[in-house]
Amino acid sequence: MSIGLPSTAQVGLGLRREMLSDMLQHIPEQVGFMEVAPENWLPFGGKLEKQFKMLTERHPFVCHGLSLSIGSPDPLDIDFIKQLKVFFDEHNIRMYSEHLSYCSADGHMYDLMPIPFTEESVKYVSERIRQVQDILERPLIVENVSYYGAPGQQMSELEFTKSVLQEADCQLLLDVNNIYVNSVNHRYDADAFLRALPSERIAYMHIAGHYNEAEDLIVDTHGADVIDPVWALLTKAYEYHGVQPTLLERDFNIPPMSDLVKELDIIHQIQKPFLAHQRRA
């Protein structure tokens, strides 16, 4: 089981601020844990902070960051990382993950840019991951990201990802949808990529919907229902790596909670036979 989460927290949901009132009234039984972007909550105090605290005191939470910019040429924002540590301690955040990408270079770019897949980048990023972990005094989990170009590529996405995990001695947030998106956009075998990832490094998983811009171009939006091929890839993820806590991301076009619960139910149903097998084993 992944570090930091109770054994019952197998399925999670990303919490958006517009869901807060409903969640304070009733959290569906399908939601074993929740995830927030700390940047969306750090600036706020008063009533909003108190309401958020009411949830974090009673339910498992993880954080998935947006602006650490681990691959940026800019120096790490040490003040920001120290603010994160206070936030995590205050709200009993079980795990912290960030994108294996960057979003700043002489200013914030408000998008996730691809880190060049090179040995030099592996060493650079790994050193920064270790530095963040030292300041936070907790692990930094990195997520495989969707990307639409590969500048200066000298190694494959898979080789780069595995090398960073090994060099930094860190864990992976396995985003199943991102594997599917990249496999279409960059024409590789999603199943082979998934199978080759190191099981022992996986902390938890993401699953989400996307937008088909063209037959050979998918945009990772988190703004639609999960499609059947991605559900099938999640099934393969459990087959290859065992059941890990899995979180549904929905950031745009957010439907009623009843619709989100239906997708959470699908995750539970996919997990069920694998969990039964693990218990028997």
- 3, part of any domain: no
Place of tokens 């090179």: 118
Least confident of 183-192, 214-223, 234-243: 214-223
Q: How far, CA to CA in Å, does 66 sit from each of 47, 110, 116, 130?
A: 24, 9, 19, 18
- 256, part of any domain: yes
Note whether 149 and 40 are within 8 A (CB): no
2-16, 126-140, 144-158: which has the highest mean pLDDT? 126-140
Instruction: Give the pLDDT confidence score for residue 1 in this predicted structure.
Output: 38
- 240, part of any domain: yes
pLDDT tens column, 27-40: 999 999 999 999 99
Whether pTM exceeds 0.85: yes
Note whether 201 and 171 are within 8 A (CB): yes
- 56, part of any domain: yes
Least confident of 70-79, 81-90, 143-152, 157-166: 143-152
pLDDT tens column, 144-200: 999 988 888 999 999 999 999 999 999 999 999 999 999 999 999 999 999 999 999
Q: Which among 119, 136, 143, 17 has a CA at the least distance from the CA of 78?
A: 136
- 6, part of any domain: no
- 1, part of any domain: no
- Supply the range of the domain harboring residue 207: 11-280
- 179, part of any domain: yes
The domain spanning residue 125 has which CATH number?
A: 3.20.20.150
